[in-house]
Amino acid sequence: MKKFILSIIFVLLSITTLFAQQGKYQRKSISSVETVWIKPGALQGVKFDYTFFDKMVDFYIEVERFDYNVLPENLLTNFREQANALTEINPDKIGEILENTVVKEIVDILNSPDVKKNRGLALKDEAAFQTFAATKAKSLGLTVKELEALMNSAYIYLPYISSAKQEVEKKSITVTINGGILWYRVKVDQDGNSSVAKLLTAKTMGLGLATSGSKSFKKYRFGKEVFNTTEKQYAQYDAVLMWVKNLGFKTKEINAFKLQAQVVEVIGRKYSFPLGFLEGVHLDDGFNLMEFEEDKEGNEIAKRVGFVRVIKTGKNIKDPTNYTIAVQLLGRIQYIGGEVMEHPRLGMDRRIKLGFITGINIPKEDTYHYIAAAGDTLKILKEDLTNAAEANLTFAYNIAPIIGMTQTFLDLGIGFGVGLAKFNDDTKPGIALVYDLYLGFTKKLWFSRANLGISAAGGIDMLDLLGKWDDNDYIYSVNSFSVKFGADLEYLINPDLSFNFGASYKLSFPYKVTLEYNESEIFSEDSDVDDLFPDMNLGGLKFSAGINYSLGSLPFNLFGFLDPLKKH
């Protein structure tokens, strides 16, 4: 009953603006209109798993900062009938129907004279309130709990799916989910009158992939939980996870839902404030330092004056004085009494880098091979291949909240580039393509707004020499296992964007060399590569520069199975 009384207090206080509650985050009471509303006919080849969807909503949307209520079922009938009759789905149409049905009925109930008169009764006499609630609920065709849910609902949301499509092409399975979320706020003015205002209309998508016949897609992992799946279910789960995760991020971006606290201690560039595990704060979460000032009309507005990153999460579930500590990366030093406001992100960075590699060694003699069908020797390169230019895309998942070590990332990177090769005249036009795929780790060491990133990774490098000889196509390929070590200097431009430049060194161990000519395999070696090609090497020294961006959304699931393991 304490939770109920606190919710009533919050509704009464919800007439105040966000920044009138400076320095303190008030827990929000939320209610969902539906688990998810799916347009009739939207599921194309998808057998939707509501149980898994509910689990994702519980994890990514109904997070620690919220108290959750369920709206009465009988308020949803008209909404479902009208929404199901829609032929075209978009947020405006869904929102219009929601406002004309569910929202209107809620406002009518909350504005009834009896409810307005007795809204604060629980604060004075809980027994009297229960008597009123039982009588009023019965007259409305509701249960006491359903009436309490309506009176507690400060915010209402509806996730919806406009399309969920499954496509199968050969062994490749793709599930794409499109939809969005609507958020509304219930307001109560000084006279007890209720109204509902739209807070957010957001659209996003989720993409899931799987391969039929592969054992890798028979089990789906989410933290310590393991689900037995078919390949099609696996693709659906991936799409659902990322779609709901994106909705959760968009929800946290609503100003009313951003965690907010007052700074209680400042030591150098370190700030302490009363938030922590109770509100779902984790290591490396970002917060903006805020100042509040009045505009010409006298309205209070928030202004960002700095940025901090959490280096110790407050264990405040049992001890409210165990504060979170964050270090300042941007802005001027603030003082006790200043405020921090959450800067929500996905916890994943995207790095794009351009680089130059030197030290590769593909001797021209290694690309010579006799072609019996042509009665001559194919000589691909005119000179040894030693350099390449490459672009890299890396997704870096922040594992600091899992392992307890700040600014540590799990990296998955792919590269594509061009070898700076000279081909023999009779093998032109020729092109040398280089590719790589790496999995590794990066640890960033910060000093003010800059950091030094130390990285190590292992993966595969590939080289393809393509061209024509004697009017027939050829492909000369080299595959190599590789390890690389690197260091990058990075400079923070704003809380989400940074510029970096650095160097890495790669050790290469070729394991396969092949030659295809006129669509036939002429040569393939995967056992004696070291003996036949002792000088061949795809490694070397790389210099690169690029940008790093902290993501707010991502269409496909990457490392999502790690999210439930966050504990620091």
> Looking at the domain assignment, is residue 558 inside a domain?
no
Contact 192, 119 (CB under 8 A): yes
Amino acid 113: pLDDT:
81
Average pLDDT over every residue of 91-97:
83
Q: Which of 307, 322, 343 corresponds to the end of one domain?
A: 343
Tell whether 223 and 96 lie within a shared domain: yes
How many other C-beta atoms can be found within 10 angstroms of the C-beta atom of residue 401?
Answer: 23
Tell whether 333 and 366 lie within a shared domain: no
- Rounded to 5 degrees, φ, ψ at 280 are 90, 25
Domain that holds residue 232: 2-256
Enter the tokens of residue 92: 């405006």
Amino acid 35: pLDDT:
79
Extended beta strands in 62-171, E state:
66-70, 155-169
Tell whether 299 and 427 lie within a shared domain: no
- Whichever domain contains 300, its CATH number is 2.40.10
Amino acid 375: pLDDT:
87
Percent of the chain with pLDDT over 90: 61
Tell whether 374 and 413 lie within a shared domain: yes
Match 């669509």 to its residue by tokens.
519
> Looking at the domain assignment, is residue 83 inside a domain?
yes
Amino acid 24: pLDDT:
64
- DSSP H or E segment with residue 517: strand 497-517
Tell whether 320 and 372 lie within a shared domain: no
> Looking at the domain assignment, is residue 69 inside a domain?
yes
Q: What is the pLDDT of residues 428-443, one digit of tens each?
A: 889 999 999 999 999 9
DSSP 131: H
Amino acid 69: pLDDT:
78
Enter the tokens of residue 322: 């165990």
Match 């330092």 to its residue by tokens.
289
Average pLDDT over every residue of 263-281:
95
> Looking at the domain assignment, is residue 268 inside a domain?
yes
Q: How confident is the model at residue 500 (pLDDT cuts 50, 70, 90)?
A: very high
> Looking at the domain assignment, is residue 565 inside a domain?
no
Give residues with Cβ within 8 angstroms of 470, minimum separation 6.
371, 374, 376, 426
Contact 121, 135 (CB under 8 A): no
Tell whether 398 and 491 lie within a shared domain: yes
Tell whether 482 and 452 lie within a shared domain: yes
Tell whether 495 and 544 lie within a shared domain: yes
User: What residues does 162 pair with on adjacent strands?
Assistant: none
Residue 543 has pLDDT above 70, yes or no: yes
Contact 357, 400 (CB under 8 A): no
| pTM: predicted TM-score of the whole model, two decimal places | 0.88
C-alpha distances (whole Å) from 556 to each of 208, 272, 381, 559 are 6, 36, 40, 10
Q: What is the pLDDT of residues 170-218, one digit of tens each?
A: 899 999 999 999 998 888 777 767 788 888 999 999 999 999 988 899 9
> Looking at the domain assignment, is residue 560 inside a domain?
no
Beta 155-169 vs 28-32: how paired, if at all?
parallel
Query: How many angstroms separate the first and last alpha carbons of the chain?
Result: 31
Q: How confident is the model at residue 9 (pLDDT cuts 50, 70, 90)?
A: very low
Match 């979170």 to its residue by tokens.
324
Average pLDDT over every residue of 77-96:
82
Q: What is the pLDDT of residues 124-161, one digit of tens each?
A: 666 776 777 777 777 777 777 777 777 767 888 989 99
Q: Which of 343, 375, 409 corresponds to the end of one domain?
A: 343
Amino acid 121: pLDDT:
61
Match 């919050």 to its residue by tokens.
10
Per the structure, the count of domains in the chain is 3
Amino acid 328: pLDDT:
97
- DSSP H or E segment with residue 7: helix 2-13
> Looking at the domain assignment, is residue 563 inside a domain?
no
Q: How confident is the model at residue 459 (pLDDT cuts 50, 70, 90)?
A: very high
Amino acid 119: pLDDT:
63
- Please classify residue 50 by burial: count the beta carbons closer than 10 Å to its beta carbon, then call 0-12 exposed, 13-18 middle and 19+ buried: exposed
Round the average pLDDT of the chain to a whole number and report it.
88
Picking from 503, 484, 495, 509, the residue whose alpha carbon sits closest to that of residue 546 is 503
Tell whether 28 and 128 lie within a shared domain: yes
Picking from 186, 55, 217, 17, the residue whose alpha carbon sits closest to that of residue 108 is 186
Amino acid 445: pLDDT:
97
Average pLDDT over every residue of 463-483:
95
> Looking at the domain assignment, is residue 567 inside a domain?
no
Contact 392, 358 (CB under 8 A): no
Separation CA 395–CA 445 (nearest Å): 19
pLDDT, greater one: 186 or 325 = 325
Q: How confident is the model at residue 241 (pLDDT cuts 50, 70, 90)?
A: very high
Q: Which of 307, 325, 343 corresponds to the end of one domain?
A: 343
Enter the tokens of residue 48: 């939707």
pLDDT, greater one: 297 or 198 = 198
Produce one character per residue of 198-218: b if its CB has 16 or more CB atoms within 10 Å, e if not.
ebbebebbbbbbbeeeeeebe
Residue 247 has pLDDT above 90, yes or no: yes
Percent of the chain with pLDDT over 70: 93
Enter the tokens of residue 400: 């600091």
Tell whether 422 and 540 lie within a shared domain: yes
> DSSP string covering 265-294, please?
EEETTEEEES-BGGGT--TT-EEEEEEEEE
Tell whether 380 and 490 lie within a shared domain: yes
Tell whether 89 and 107 lie within a shared domain: yes
Residue 89 has pLDDT above 90, yes or no: no
Picking from 29, 33, 24, 25, the residue whose alpha carbon sits closest to that of residue 10 is 29
Residue 112 has pLDDT above 60, yes or no: yes
Q: What is the pLDDT of residues 326-366, one digit of tens each?
A: 999 999 999 898 899 999 999 999 999 999 999 999 999 99
